[in-house]
């Protein structure tokens, strides 16, 4: 199991003055605890029971911020399916 530093990721968000909403925190925690790459559908299936208003657009927006800050890696599978993993 890969061990990612969630605290370092949270500090990076704070340094960039990025608000840590409960949904953003949940997406980040999910990725930092998941094994391997996950798709937006995986994230939604896991988090929607707790955050009923969470949708794909919101998740993609969070992932874009995380990717820009180097906190998340993105791969494209088969030319269209995007998958995400916490960056070490």
Does this model's pTM top 0.85? My answer is yes
Q: Is the pLDDT of residue 88 over 80?
A: no
Does residue 39 contact residue 84 with C-beta atoms inside 8 Å?
yes
Does residue 34 contact residue 85 with C-beta atoms inside 8 Å?
yes
Task: Quote the pLDDT of residue 36.
Answer: 86
Q: What whole-number distance in Å separates Cα of residue 71 and Cα of residue 9?
A: 6
Q: What is the pLDDT of residues 63-81, one digit of tens each?
A: 999 999 999 999 988 777 8
* Domains parsed from the chain with CATH numbers: 6-86 (1.10.10.10)
Please tell me what DSSP assigns to residue 38. B
* 3 state DSSP class of 74: strand
Q: What is the pLDDT of residues 3-50, one digit of tens each?
A: 568 888 899 999 999 999 999 999 999 999 988 899 999 999 999 999
């Amino acid at each position: 199991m890969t061990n990612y530093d969630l605290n370092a990721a949270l500090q990076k968000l704070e340094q960039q003055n990025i608000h840590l909403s409960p949904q953003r925190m949940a997406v980040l925690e999910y990725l930092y605890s998941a094994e391997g790459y996950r798709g937006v559908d995986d994230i939604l299936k896991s988090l929607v029971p707790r955050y009923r208003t969470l949708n794909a657009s919101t998740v993609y927006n969070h992932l874009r911020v995380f990717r820009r800050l180097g906190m998340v890696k993105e791969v494209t599978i088969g030319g269209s399916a995007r998958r995400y993993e916490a960056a070490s």
